[in-house]
Structure 1
Amino acid sequence: MASSPPDVPGDTVWEDARNLVRSIAFLNRAHHWLVTRASVWFAGFVVLYVLGGMLLGWSIAYELLVGLTAPAECRHPWYGYALSLAGWLLVPSVTGAAAGYLVTRQIERRRSIALDELLERMRTQSGGPPSTGGSG
C-alpha cells in the first residue's frame, strides 16, 4: 500500500498578498497604470473629499470641488482652497492623462508601419541625414 504525501500547508496571507502584487506586473501597460498609479491618486482624492464633507458639509464640499462656491466663503477657507485646487487641477489632469494615454495606446495598436521603418523611409526620401555644415 502506497503512503500518501505529507500534508503541505497552504500559503499564508502574506504569501498570497505577495503573489498578488507580483502578478500585477503581468497586466498590460494601461491596466498596470490604472491599478498602481491611478488608484493611489483616486484614494487620495476620496480622502480629501470625505474629509471636506465632514469638515464643511457634503453640499459645500461638492460645490467647492466643482467651482460653484468660492473657498473664502466656507467655514474653513484653508480646506476650501485645497478642495477647490483639487477640483480645478487634480481631477482634470488625471482624467486627461488617462484619456491621452489610452488614446495613444489605441493609435499605436493600429499603426501599420513600425517607427524605425518609418524613420528610415523618411531618411532615404530626404536624401540622408542633414550635414553638420563643417568646412574642410
Structure 2
Amino acid sequence: MMPPSPSGVPDDTMREELRDLIRSVAFLNRTHHWLVTRATVWLAGFCALYVLGGLLLGWSAAYEVLVGLTVPADCPHPWLGYALSLTGWLLVPALTGAATGYIVTRQIERRRSTALADLLRQMRAQSGGPGPPPPGGGA
C-alpha cells in the first residue's frame, strides 16, 4: 500500500489518469484531434488486417491483393483476400482523402485574411438593402 500524499489528497488511480489523458486531446485543433482519435483506430485496424494477411498469405501476396494486382479468390484464404481487397479499394483511399481534406481545409482557414463577421458586414453594406421607409408615411 502506498503512503498518502503530503497534501492529504489521494493520488489518482490508473483509470483516472487514463480518463484525464483521453480528455486532454480536446484542446487539439480539428486536424490533430481527428488524427489522434479517429485515424489511429482505423490505421490500427488496417495494420492488424495487413499483418494477418502477411502471416497467412505471405507478405508479397497480401500486398498484391491489397493493391489489386492479384484476384482475392486465388488466395489460400479467400475470405482474407476479399477483406484485404476491399480495404485496399475503400479504406485506404478514404483515409487518405479524409486526412488530405482536413489538412487542406485547415490551411485554407489559416490563410483567410478577413474574419467571417467582417465579411458578412461588408456584404450587407454592399447589398444596399431596401433602405429607410419614405417620410410622411400614412395612407
TM-score (norm 1): 0.79
Distance apart, 1:82 and its partner CA: 1.3
* CA RMSD in angstroms, aligned pairs only: 2.1
| Structure with higher RCO (Cα < 8 A, 6+ apart) | 2
Unmatched 5+ residue regions in structure 2?
1-5, 131-139
Residue 8 of structure 1, CA deviation: 4.8
**Residue 91 of structure 1 aligns with which residue?**
92
- Mapped pair 1:74 → 2:85: no
> Which one-letter code corresponds to 1:76 in the other structure?
H
Q: Which amino acid aligns with 1:49?
A: Y
Post-superposition CA distance 1:89-109 (Å, at most 9, x none): 110111111111111111111
Q: Offset of 1:44 from its aligned partner?
A: 1.0
Structure 1: which 5+ residue stretches go unaligned?
Answer: 130-136
Amino acid at match of 2:119: L
Q: Mean Cα displacement is larger for which, 52-61 or 110-119?
A: 110-119
Q: Percent identity?
A: 74
- Tell which structure's C-alpha radius of gyration is larger: 2
Matched positions, count: 125
Letter of the 1:20 counterpart: L
- Where does residue 35 of structure 2 map in the other structure? 34
Q: Distance in 2 between matches of 1:84 and 1:90?
A: 10
**Range moving further from structure 2, 77-86 or 113-122:** 113-122
1:14 corresponds to 2:1: no
SS of equivalent residue, structure 2 residue 53: helix
